[in-house]
Chains A and B, each alone.
Chain A
Amino acid sequence: MSDFSERDFDARLLDLHLGHLSRAEEAELRAKIESEPALVEQDRALTSVFTALRAVPTEAAPRDLAGRVSQRVREAGPVPRVVRPTDQWTAALEERPERIIQLGSLRDVIGIAAIVVLAIGLGVPGLMHARERSDRLACTRNLQMLGTGVQQYASTFGSSLPFAGFAQAGNSWLPSDDPQITTVPNRRHVFLLLRRNFVRDPRVFVCPSQHDVPMPMDAVAQRSDFLEPRNVSYAYQNMAGVRPSPKRDAADLPILSDDNPLFADGLPLFDARRLGIGDPAQSNSHAHRSAGQNILTLDGRVKWTTTPNSGVNGDNIWTLEDVDEYTGQEGPSKSTDAHLLK
């Protein structure tokens, strides 16, 4: 008898028993089995295993099940419409088409806007400010699109926000040199939006004010994380503790924002305190010249704030409550504590 506790079986035998081989492959393998006693033994043991598995019959569904499902779906009303930012703009133009006539074609509108921006940029010393405003707006649109992706994700996965898994034992969201510790950056969770096509453009994850670069699209399919930290500019709610739920938690809970200034590439910068540079936890994100940060809240709104104390009831969005030293395993202990990091 084959002892599976000590020996393994040939992977092709599994394909054979599951019916995944072509006729030619099957004939070739059967010929090989006949010539190798070890394979004969493995095949016999696997046959007994699959014979045992066949003892569990297919359960027949109640006859009225499909009817009851259809009835329940009818009672739920029409398919909820998913509103995307582009839909909103289209709808606005459909409601007031005279706007298009007054301004000309969309290309004209874009052209005029470009000339205006150019004139302002060349004509006044506020060029940098205009550029920054433009980047900030583009950043706002990015977060709006990410917010739409988060809501669609939650709608598909039972109100769960993107979560790629985190085990307190042996995992750390901070980079660790300990061979016993696996580094699992917090950005892995938000990568699920790209991986599962809830957000299709990698450029949406990059703030134009940052020197980050979009992840190549052809690298997305086989990965569970961004290729490198600079493929994403935004900080996401720390998912190592209590995870937010759109159904249950405060609508104004921040879940995504410009990057956390205290955790550059995951490493905490609290040592700045020793240098006497005030309280670094009160710094704004460095993304927009430290003037403030865009924040996406749980209900899908994006707001610009000039202080990090912009969470629920003035919560600091860069830090966890009651945590001074970070090891990489801490997470929010309550649903109102925002801690945004990459």
Chain B
Amino acid sequence: MDHERDEALLAAHIAGAPGAFDHLVRRYADELYAFFARFVGNRTAADDLVQDTFLQVHLAAGSFDPERTFKPWLYTIAANKARDFMRARRRRPAQSLDQAAGDPDGPSPAALLEADSPAVSENSETDEQRRRVQAVVAAMPEHLQLILVLGYYQKLPYAEIANVLDIPVGTVKSRLHSAVKQFAQLWLAENPTSVE
């Protein structure tokens, strides 16, 4: 089953074959986690969003068009989940650590901060560079962040991104061009010595 196509695995899952969906999850969980971690910048949220995405795929599997390709469909759902999360986060008022500490339903923000802190690195300069890059990306408009993550970090081909975002391939190219250009402007403005 390891070599089965995604669409065949999903069809098998719809037909009730045990283990078929587990293969899909194992195939894409790491990739989706990396996508969410980069786009929303939060490991705890990335973990939740991977679960929500696969659950949505399971619930909507009956409506999947077998003539379509699975991966862009998966990313369409993932991108929607990510955008919903970002919008909900923007709407939520800022909380103090003390206010939320009494929340019985989940970990405190302090605990989340700890969970989301980057792994301890021996190279603090690299960590500082990573932190500054993330801050610059986070300052970009959401649609440019999304296409940068899909096009550069996730390495999706232009045609797949077009399918995921439901936009023409030409728009994918121009939008990715704008994203890189805007990142370059922001990055070089803050780091003028980064180009020899």
Q: Which residues of A contact B (CB under 8 A)?
A: 1-5, 8-9, 11, 14, 18-20, 44-46, 48-50, 52-53, 55-62, 65-66, 68-70, 72-73, 76, 78-82, 152, 155-158, 195-198, 222
Contacts and interface: CB of A to CB of B under 8 A. Distances in A.
B25 A9 contact: no
Contacts of B188: 1-4, 45, 48-49
Interface residues of B, number: 65
Given A11-B177, A45-B184, A48-B194, 16 more contacts: A1-B188, A1-B192, A48-B188, A55-B130, A59-B33, A61-B29, A65-B29, A66-B22, A68-B51, A70-B21, A72-B51, A73-B58, A79-B13, A79-B62, A198-B63, A222-B168
A5 B60 contact: no
11 contacts: A2-B195, A49-B180, A49-B187, A53-B152, A59-B37, A73-B25, A79-B61, A155-B60, A156-B63, A156-B77, A195-B166
A109 to B, nearest CB: 29
B54 interface: yes
A197 B68 contact: yes
Contacts of B67: 197
B129 A52 contact: yes
Contacts of A65: 29-30, 33, 47, 50-51
Nearest to B127: A55
A69 B195 contact: no
B30 A55 contact: no
B160 to A, nearest CB: 12
What DSSP secondary structure best describes chain A's contact surface?
A: loop
B2 interface: no
A18 B152 contact: yes
A193 to B, nearest CB: 12
Contacts of A158: 56, 80-81, 84
B183 A53 contact: yes
Contacts of A60: 30, 33
A3 B162 CA distance: 30
A278 B63 CA distance: 46
B29 A49 contact: no
Nearest to B15: A79
Contacts of A18: 151-152, 155, 176
Interface in B138-166: 148, 151-153, 155, 157-158, 166
Nearest to B186: A4
B192 A66 contact: no
Contacts of A222: 168
B91 interface: no
